[in-house]
Structure 1
Amino acid sequence: MKTLYTLALSTALLLGSLGTQAQKRPDGPAFPLGSSQTLVQQLESQVAVGTAQRAKPVVSLRVSAAKAMAGQVNYREDLAATGEFLQGEIQGVPGSSFSLRIDGKEVEGHIILQKTKQAYRYSADSAGNVQVQEVDINNVVCIDYNKPLGYQEPVSAGNSANRTTVVLLQSLPGARGCVLLDFDGYEMPAGKGWNQGRAYSAPASGIENDEARVREFWELVSEDFRPLNLNVTTDEAVFNTYATTMRIRCVVSPGSVGTIAPGTGGIAYMNSFLAFNDTPCWVFMSSPKDGGEAASHEVGHTLGLSHDGRTTPNEGYFAGHGSWSPIMGNGYYTPVAQWSRGEYANANNTQDDLAIMTGTNFNVGYRADDHSNSTTSATALARSGNSLSGRGVIERATDLDYFSFSTAGGTATFNVSGVSRHSNLDIAVRLFNGSGALLGTYDTAGANNLNATFSTNLSAGTYYLQVDGVGQGNPATDGYSDYGSLGAYTISGTAPAPNTTPVTGVATVYRDCNYGGAATSLAVGDYTLAALQSRGILNNDISSLTVNSGYEMVLYDDDNFGGAALTLTSSTSCLVNNGWNDRATSLRVRTAAPAFSRQLRAEFANVNYGMQAEACTEGGRNMGYIDPGDYLVWNSINFPSSGSYLIEYRVAATRASTLSSNLNGSIQLGSTAIPSTNGWQNWTTVSRTVYINAGTYNFTVFAQTGGWNINWVRISRVSARPTVDAEPATLAPAPAFDPTPALTLYPNPATDRLNVTSATDLQGAQVSILGFDGTVVSRGTFNGETVDVSTLKPGLYTLVLTTTDKRKVVSRFSKE
């Protein structure tokens, strides 16, 4: 037993008027009944004596010091030594019922006397001390809620000979909670809280074979609960997959039959969505509009909602004003019935319906937001020729759904509409240009005008639609706010398709992988988000690209070339492999820097020269990575004339340590302490000016500890004459040129795939990957572009490529 629930009854006299019970009487004094276990012993003793004397035992239900009621037990469940569960009726009192359940220290129950409009509630504190208290019947039973004036059950148009089961429908498959609309009859077991604890055979609704009416009934209830994480279904098999504390059955049965609730339109226990024994709620009208409104109303009770009435005039159910009414009032007569928080004049109930139903008590919550609330991640409208379409749900009053589209320019026409019948969503649409400036707001005024339609002339470019739920009129007197203006919508429109004919360029970007979808050719240049959008390229919408030889494309995470970056010098069939699918916001197309080789030979004149490679994700150029205790060597650098040279290299430190460098081992350029930067955004430039005789040298950088990424190396000729106190160096001969091909690895650290580039064709080379201890952990054949490292554990590895002419190429990398 985990919840306390009370009865919410909607009585229905066919031609009666709405009830006037708006003023609530105060609760009476609480009467103590002792401990829960004492009460269990008393009840079990009375049941035992009563069973021996008669067919149905009678227990004494004390409600005050001077008054006790005789409860005839129609259903009993023995909850072992610490519990007892009884349901039945008060002897000699027509229309009465009681339910009392004790489980350890937890107690819940009630007595209902419908004729005299009295109710009592049982409860216990945390120590198990039980009390009973007279409460206002409106807190337990909702009375005088009539059917519509002149209501008659519809005659079914269905053909039972051609259909053997109700049409199976679901509003949100896989949702957290479930509401079953049960149209085809229900065999209710005893102990479900109804029929004074007895079993009951409920007849079918009469429309179970009428697909059109069942579907409309279901649509109305589904739309009311659309904002919640609830699946409204007609499929009992789906309902049975949910836990009993995460579902409610709403039985639709013909008007006021049997003894469940004679003369009523619907009935439900308050909070019974969490009922321990799968207690259903009931609706006794099968017409789609009236029965659907009653079903949402009764399910609302099971999720903790009370009735919406007024204090002046004194009434229990507010029928609304204008075109609007509250669902927990009387929604029969208005086209728009929404959840409410009592914003109308003289409201007797200001509870926040949505906050209560989505609160932690029921664990249902709101459904997930389906579209971005900003232009940054707007959903692209689907396009077929000049036609555009989309759909979504406004889940909360604060929800704003954004969509994007591009056009070649001309007339654009849109219609944004809620569901075709029984919509709760009053729609406003706002149109923005590619820079985010508001161009217009479209909201059709007037009662019953919930949809938005507009037509406007646009220049070529990218635009955004914002869909919003809004109010209408004055919530106090003739309208409603945006509080309950929620639900599903569809977008349909036309706009001239953008020109997709390729322009002269050196690179092309594609919307889909494998060079599919919309394609746009780009010339050399810098492209901000606005520049891309003007060419029909949406934000975060590039999945593959081609780049001509001699050029490169740099993708950026943020607008205006900010954030992380990725440089590509060749075509890429799917950016998923690089971790950049649907990620680029701005980009550059430029002439590519020459590919880097460790055997790079630089011919110097009286100018500056830089040795650079492909861009690394942390910015700048990646010359290579040095592990602790390792070194990098650039072989055979030619200095054409003697003189003073400034040698600089830029590094990113992973932790503080010392870096040393030299030429041919003879000219020591010194050691420099490199501070830790905790990342790749801060750089340290190491520089030394030395006098060098003309000749060929090897440049070496050695990491004593730690580890660095060499960003770039630059050698500048400062002067043809020696600096003060500088002596010409006597150099050892440069070693012979090593023809081993050099590798460039990126990204490094790698995630799933390691891109490998080289000035030498390595197609068909044998691949070996060695772990930190030298053990071979992976083998394969090189495909000429990438190496799969997805199965490797995080750590440091050595990549060995053995070429077809038996040369070995070795480089290290790390796996994230």
Structure 2
Amino acid sequence: MTADIEQRLDTGKTLSLSLPGNRYLDGVLEKIIPGNGLAADPGISETRILSLDSIQGTVEIYLRAGKIRGMLILDINSNEAYKATFNEAGAGILERQEPDLYYCVNYPTPTFTSQPLTAAADIANAAPAPDLDTLRQLQSKPQAPNVLYINYWGGVLSDTVWNSGNPISYTAFSQDSDTTSFSTTERHDMWLAWAETAEDYAPFNINVTTDASIYAATPANRRVQIIATTTCDWYGCGYGGVAYLDVFGTGDYYGTGWAWNRYANSLGVTISHEAGHQMGLGHDGNSGTEYESGHGNWGPIMGGPFGRSYAQWSKGEYPDASNQEDDLLIIRNTLGEVIDDAGDSAASATPLSLPVIEKKGLLHPEGLNTDTDVYTFNLSAPGSVTLEIGPPLGLLQESMGTSLSLKAQLVENASGAVVASLSPSDPPSSNVLIQTLQLAAGRYDLFLEAVSYDSNWASGFGEYGNGGYYSISIAQEIGPDLATNALAISPIVVSPGESIGMLSAVINLGDLDAGSSLLRYFIASSSSVTPNDTEAAETTDVPALPPQVTAQLSQPILLPQDMPLGRHWMASCVDPVSGEVQTGNNCSTAVEIIVATGSCDTNALNVQKTFSSYEYLKSHTSVTLGNSQVTTNGELYIESPQVVLGAANAPFFVENGSVLSVRSSIPDCP
């Protein structure tokens, strides 16, 4: 190295480098960062980064105590890497390196049909194709401090290592020539790729998101992005994707990767693969290729497992593996691991309240820790219970992309009997438990484990990378459930021997049809009316009711001639029907009835009187009271459009302890 060259290495300066074979590379010093760069050599205090003219690649010059102590040259166009370490005199030798130690070399595209044959059926059956507003706001862990941003949206990338530091204008994600809108299939595949990536990184403390605002709000040393686009001319088309290795936490200069694979069989795993490089992972290959495609329906994420049902992190346990690095440990050391989200035994089981609707959980792969998730729920009465349990993508009938092969057992706690079970199976769409059971009352425990459907590495996979999301839905069949509401206006003021109109509504709150029934009426001296109180002679037929259907029923009830004056209460109660378990709501709340004596007339009433008992005055036109009073313990109920109480020479008094009720309405006089 030339003496004092360090003083001439300022931002914007041009440097010419000589490579073996009489080759020269020219570059411009673009950036100075503290600490070491891609080579990660210990003791480096500063890294100066050059972008190369006319070719893809970078040069990093490493300084310690102000002196150059190393250099890394990456020529991506030629897939060549060179590294040198310099002594105190500035002497060193460039040694050729494997380029895939520093970036993703020639990541392939699928060699089979580009559009999976099952995609259209998946969309038609169950899998979502979200609207754009939803697609732009997907998040896997909103509270996580780290962010992996899947950028589908097009834009301009500036001030990065790519394209010799020049801006790159890139299109939005697309599977056809139209890059301005998204088809139903495109929206489905964008969602699926996010879901696959979110599951691959589920054990780790990172939010996989499609939301640009989340990425923008995250510190540069806590974020990376993968741009999914059709734009590749600046790099060279024909590759599946590219990213630099071990760059998470270094900022935005190296923090962008690219995904050019664009269909459901390859998009999700490409995003996870390139992000895996950013976390520090190398390739999983074999003696014949750098990218292990897998076997059966399994493949390693850091290989090229396009179209495999199960794509998982690996530590090189498959036959002829070329890389035994511990993927899960490396990612955990970079991002941290999320805590277990459920109990691991019946004694520590996480309680569930029915119904359970698509509760998501996570089984950590064995490569991080052994994880069993246990939940418990109680049935207060015998009933029909429907279970839907499995990996979320499997429940949506997706044929690829999950990381979890699941085993499940539902156990009756008292007897220890297994009442339902799910055995691991392939493909993921078959690894689901959908079953309706007739269960006795009591406690039930649900055990969930990650278990390979085939642990033979020649045809299946072991438990190292087997883990991921599951979904639980538990619906208890209620059966018919009739509930009654009284619709009459309270209080009702009547005389002994008169009829009152009881208007009631009966609704079937259950989830099965309710057969026809009978509505009965009960009278009590308190507001707590039950079928044990005095029953009226009248009944009303209640028709058969489907779930959530209401019948409004009106019934005149004739009061006895000798019914005592005073306050009474009446409720309507529907008889239970076959299959009805919940009967606590079969009776309505009580309607207050005031049994009194009095006058009801279509003409005006002018009254002078002392009211000392339960009495009423009702008129279609008016009621006038003068020289009158309601004495202690007396109750007077007036109902008329116009009411005049007292005058200058005809006073009206209401004594303490009495009741006066005035309702401005036209009464229903017999």
Fold match (TM-score > 0.5): yes
Residue 232 of structure 1 and its aligned partner are, at CA, apart by 0.6
Query: Which residue of the partner structure matches residue 387 of structure 2?
Result: 414
Q: Tell me, yes or no, if structure 1 residue 265 matches structure 2 residue 226.
A: no
Secondary structure of residue in 1 paired with 2:465? coil
Secondary structure of residue in 2 paired with 1:185? strand
Q: Which amino acid aligns with 1:317?
A: Y
1:2-401 equivalent positions in 2, closer than 5 A: 41-45=4-8, 57-60=14-17, 70-77=24-31, 85-89=48-52, 97-100=58-61, 102=63, 104=65, 110-114=72-76, 116-121=78-83, 132-149=94-111, 167-190=136-159, 192-206=160-174, 209-210=181-182, 211-254=187-230, 257-279=232-254, 280-311=256-287, 314-359=288-333, 362=334, 364-384=335-355, 390-397=359-366, 398-401=370-373
Residue 281 of structure 1 and its aligned partner are, at CA, apart by 0.7
Q: Using a 3 Å threshold, how does the CA distance of structure 1 residues 459 and 319 change in structure 2: closer, same or farther?
A: same
Q: Which amino acid aligns with 2:151?
A: D
What is the aligned length?
A: 437
Secondary structure of residue in 2 paired with 1:299? helix
Q: Tell me, yes or no, if structure 1 residue 482 matches structure 2 residue 482.
A: no
1:543-622 equivalent positions in 2, closer than 5 A: none
Secondary structure of residue in 2 paired with 1:220? helix
Residue 143 of structure 1 and its aligned partner are, at CA, apart by 2.9
> Take 2:98 and 2:200, find their aligned partners in 1: how far apart are those partners?
29
Residue 457 of structure 1 and its aligned partner are, at CA, apart by 5.4
Query: Which residue of the partner structure matches residue 470 of structure 1?
Result: 451
Q: Which amino acid aligns with 2:387?
A: F
> Take 1:168 and 1:127, find their aligned partners in 2: how far apart are those partners?
55
Secondary structure of residue in 1 paired with 2:217? coil
The question of whether the paired residues in 1 share the 8 Å contact of 2:47 and 2:60 is answered with no
Q: Using a 3 Å threshold, how does the CA distance of structure 1 residues 248 and 96 change in structure 2: closer, same or farther?
A: closer
Secondary structure of residue in 2 paired with 1:358? helix
The question of whether the paired residues in 1 share the 8 Å contact of 2:56 and 2:164 is answered with no
> Take 2:341 and 2:285, find their aligned partners in 1: how far apart are those partners?
34
Q: Which amino acid aligns with 1:370?
A: D
Secondary structure of residue in 1 paired with 2:218? coil
Structure 1 residues 82-121: Cα deviation after superposition (integer angstroms, max 9, x where no partner): 9662323278xx6554343547569775312346542113
Decide which moves more: 117-126 or 457-466.
117-126
Residue 169 of structure 1 and its aligned partner are, at CA, apart by 1.1
> Take 1:454 and 1:164, find their aligned partners in 2: how far apart are those partners?
35
Q: Using a 3 Å threshold, how does the CA distance of structure 1 residues 152 and 75 change in structure 2: closer, same or farther?
A: farther
Q: Using a 3 Å threshold, how does the CA distance of structure 1 residues 334 and 125 change in structure 2: closer, same or farther?
A: farther
The question of whether the paired residues in 1 share the 8 Å contact of 2:361 and 2:469 is answered with yes
Secondary structure of residue in 2 paired with 1:287? coil
Residue 47 of structure 1 and its aligned partner are, at CA, apart by 6.9
The question of whether the paired residues in 1 share the 8 Å contact of 2:103 and 2:277 is answered with no
Structure 1 residues 552-609: Cα deviation after superposition (integer angstroms, max 9, x where no partner): xxxxxxxxxxxxxxxxxxxxxxxxxxxxxxxxxxxxxxxxxxxxxxxxxxxxxxxxxx
Q: Using a 3 Å threshold, how does the CA distance of structure 1 residues 427 and 47 change in structure 2: closer, same or farther?
A: closer
Query: Which residue of the partner structure matches residue 425 of structure 1?
Result: 404
The question of whether the paired residues in 2 share the 8 Å contact of 1:175 and 1:231 is answered with yes
> Take 1:403 and 1:321, find their aligned partners in 2: how far apart are those partners?
34
The question of whether the paired residues in 1 share the 8 Å contact of 2:56 and 2:163 is answered with no
Q: Using a 3 Å threshold, how does the CA distance of structure 1 residues 464 and 278 change in structure 2: closer, same or farther?
A: farther
Query: Which residue of the partner structure matches residue 589 of structure 2?
Result: none
> Take 2:278 and 2:360, find their aligned partners in 1: how far apart are those partners?
30
> Take 1:179 and 1:393, find their aligned partners in 2: how far apart are those partners?
19
Secondary structure of residue in 1 paired with 2:213? helix
Q: Using a 3 Å threshold, how does the CA distance of structure 1 residues 356 and 383 change in structure 2: closer, same or farther?
A: same
Residue 399 of structure 1 and its aligned partner are, at CA, apart by 1.6
> Take 1:289 and 1:423, find their aligned partners in 2: how far apart are those partners?
12
Query: Which residue of the partner structure matches residue 724 of structure 1?
Result: none
Q: Among all aligned residue pairs of Structure 1 and Structure 2, give the percentage whose two residues are the same amino acid.
A: 24
Secondary structure of residue in 2 paired with 1:203? strand
Residue 307 of structure 1 and its aligned partner are, at CA, apart by 1.1
Structure 1 residues 360-406: Cα deviation after superposition (integer angstroms, max 9, x where no partner): xx2x122222111122232222314xx77643121333121111112
> Take 1:443 and 1:344, find their aligned partners in 2: how far apart are those partners?
26
Secondary structure of residue in 1 paired with 2:248? helix
Q: Using a 3 Å threshold, how does the CA distance of structure 1 residues 60 and 137 change in structure 2: closer, same or farther?
A: closer
Residue 172 of structure 1 and its aligned partner are, at CA, apart by 0.6
> Take 1:320 and 1:329, find their aligned partners in 2: how far apart are those partners?
8
Q: Which amino acid aligns with 2:190?
A: V
TM-score (norm 1): 0.48
Q: Using a 3 Å threshold, how does the CA distance of structure 1 residues 96 and 482 change in structure 2: closer, same or farther?
A: closer
Match of 1:439 among 418, 423, 430: 418
Q: Which amino acid aligns with 1:371?
A: A
> Take 2:336 and 2:205, find their aligned partners in 1: how far apart are those partners?
6
Secondary structure of residue in 1 paired with 2:147? strand
Q: Using a 3 Å threshold, how does the CA distance of structure 1 residues 114 and 86 change in structure 2: closer, same or farther?
A: closer
Structure 1 residues 400-423: Cα deviation after superposition (integer angstroms, max 9, x where no partner): 111111223465542311113332
Secondary structure of residue in 1 paired with 2:320? coil
Decide which moves more: 125-134 or 294-303.
125-134
The question of whether the paired residues in 2 share the 8 Å contact of 1:85 and 1:100 is answered with yes
Query: Which residue of the partner structure matches residue 511 of structure 1?
Result: none
Structure 1 residues 118-147: Cα deviation after superposition (integer angstroms, max 9, x where no partner): 211356899999875321223234434321
Q: Give the unaligned 5+ runs of structure 2.
A: 35-44, 124-130, 480-670
> Take 2:470 and 2:88, find their aligned partners in 1: how far apart are those partners?
47
TM-score (norm 2): 0.58
Q: Using a 3 Å threshold, how does the CA distance of structure 1 residues 115 and 496 change in structure 2: closer, same or farther?
A: closer
Q: Give the unaligned 5+ runs of structure 1.
A: 1-32, 499-816
Structure 1 residues 623-647: Cα deviation after superposition (integer angstroms, max 9, x where no partner): xxxxxxxxxxxxxxxxxxxxxxxxx
1:689-708 equivalent positions in 2, closer than 5 A: none
Residue 454 of structure 1 and its aligned partner are, at CA, apart by 5.1
> Take 2:91 and 2:235, find their aligned partners in 1: how far apart are those partners?
32
> Take 2:388 and 2:219, find their aligned partners in 1: how far apart are those partners?
41
Q: Using a 3 Å threshold, how does the CA distance of structure 1 residues 288 and 304 change in structure 2: closer, same or farther?
A: same
